Amino acid sequence: MDLDSKIGNFKPEIVVLYCKNCLAKDSGPVGNMVSNSKFSARLVMLPCSSKVEASHVLKILAQGADGVEVVGCPEKQCRFLVGNTRAEKRIEYARQLLGKINFDMDRLGMDRGENLSLSQLISLAEKRANAVMNIGPNLMKG
């Protein structure tokens, strides 16, 4: 299958790593797969977005995900004081590393939110999927 036909059938696979403290209080863990006709997303709950390391998100991309979205608490509202600020710096560092190897930085991003519902997490995944759709499939995908 050539690249043009892969792009024509392209359905981005997005991994969303989200802080459990950014969910609405009445939401339980929403870690699961979500799929529609445009993209699929795997939602992974973390105790804090500060648990994300640059090496983790790069490994997720190396294993074939088309994009990664990290979701943390709003600025200055992290229950671990500066966890979300650390996560943001790590994501920016990983984006810079991707740029250095000419791998599109838009495959990786971070958003912040509070009292998020499942549908809002899916919307953030869709936002990353739309960015990735313009880039095309991850060439590291097997």
| Overall domain count for the chain | 1
- Whether residue 109 is contained in a domain is answered as yes
Higher pLDDT residue, 25 or 100? Answer: 100
- Whether residue 15 is contained in a domain is answered as no
- Whether residue 114 is contained in a domain is answered as yes
- Whether residue 12 is contained in a domain is answered as no
Separation between Cα atoms, residue 127 and residue 65, nearest integer Å: 15
Q: Convert the pLDDT of each residue in 84-138 to its tens digit.
A: 788 899 999 999 999 999 999 999 999 998 888 888 999 999 999 999 998 999 9
Which residues, including other chains, have CB under 8 Å from residue 9's CB and lie 6 or more apart?
Answer: none
Look up the domain containing 45 and give its range.
20-133
Q: What is the pTM of this model?
A: 0.88
Which pLDDT belongs to residue 44?
92
- Whether residue 142 is contained in a domain is answered as no
